[in-house]
Amino acid sequence: MKFERGLWNLQPDTTAIYPKAVTDVQIEDDALVISGYDHVVQGRSSFIHGTLITLRFTAPKPDVIRVQITHFKGRDVPEPSFDIAASDNADVEIGRDEDEAWLISGSLSVRVPLASEWGYRFYRDGALLTESEPKALGLFNKSGTHYMREQLTLAVGETLYGLGERFGPLVKNGQNIESWNEDSGTMSEYGYKNIPFYLSNQGYGVLVNHPGKVDYEMASHHVSRAQFSVEGRDLDYYIFAGPTMKAALDQYTELTGRPPAVPEWSFGLWLSTSFTTNYNEQDIIANIERMEAEGIPISVFHFDCFWMRELTWSSFIWDERFFPDPAGLIKRIKDKGIRVCLWINPYIAESSPLFDEGKAGGYLLKKTNGDVYQVDFWQPGIGFVDFTNPEACDWYCGKLKALLDMGTDCFKTDFGESIPVDDVAYFNGADPERMHNYYTYLYNQAVFDLLQREKGDGEAVLFARSATAGGQQFPVHWGGDNSSSYSSMAETLRGGLSLGLSGFGYWSHDISGFNDTATPDLYKRWVAFGMLSSHSRLHGSGSARMPWLFDEEAIDVARFFTQLKQSLLPYLLEVAQESVAHGWPMLRAMVLEFENDPNCRYLDTQYMLGNSLLVAPIFSDTGEVSVYLPAGEWRNLLTGEVTQGNIWRTDTHDYFSLPLWVNMDRCPDSLCNLEIEKPT
Query: What is the DSSP annotation of 333-345?
Result: HHTTT-EEEEEE-
| CB within 8 Å of 475: residues ≥ 6 apart | 259, 260, 262, 461, 462, 464, 504, 505, 506
In a 3-state reduction of DSSP, which class is residue 329?
helix
What span, in angstroms and rounded, lies between the C-alpha atoms of 498 and 160?
A: 10
What span, in angstroms and rounded, lies between the C-alpha atoms of 108 and 89?
A: 14
Cβ atoms 487, 620 nearer than 8 A: no
| CB within 8 Å of 669: residues ≥ 6 apart | none
- What residues pair up with 218 in beta bridges, in sequence order? 175, 226
Query: What is the DSSP annotation of 125-160?
Result: TTEEEEEE-TTTSEEEEETTEEEEEEEEE--TT--E
The strand pair at 52-58 and 64-70 is best described as: antiparallel
The strand pair at 339-344 and 300-303 is best described as: parallel
**Which strands form 375-377's sheet, in the order they lie side by side?**
347-348, 379-384, 375-377
429 CB-contact burial (10 Å; exposed 0-12 / middle 13-18 / buried 19+): exposed
Cβ atoms 153, 482 nearer than 8 A: no
Q: Tell which residue, 188, 190, 159, has the closest CA to residue 172.
A: 159
The amino acid sitting at 510 is: D
What b/e readout covers 464-481, taking b as 16+ CB neighbours within 10 angstroms? Answer: bbbbbbbbbbbbbbbbbb
The amino acid sitting at 198 is: Y
SS (H, E, C) 216-266: EEECCCCCCEEEEEEECCEEEEEEECCCCHHHHHHHHHHHHCCCCCCCHHH
* DSSP strands (E only) in 258-327: 269-272, 300-303
What span, in angstroms and rounded, lies between the C-alpha atoms of 199 and 240?
A: 9
Q: Tell which residue, 570, 677, 560, 554, has the closest CA to residue 613.
A: 570
If you count DSSP H runs as helices and E runs as strands, how many of each does the chain have, helices first? 11, 37
Angle at 253 between CA 252 and CA 257, to 5 degrees: 140
In a 3-state reduction of DSSP, which class is residue 470?
coil
360 CB-contact burial (10 Å; exposed 0-12 / middle 13-18 / buried 19+): exposed
Query: What is the DSSP annotation of 8-57?
Result: TEEPTTEEEE---EEEEEEE-SS-EEEEEESS---SGGGGSS--EEEEEE
Phi, psi of 594 (to 5 degrees): -130, 65
Residue positions annotated with a catalytic role:
414, 417, 481
In a 3-state reduction of DSSP, which class is residue 577?
helix
What span, in angstroms and rounded, lies between the C-alpha atoms of 56 and 66?
A: 8
In a 3-state reduction of DSSP, which class is residue 587?
strand
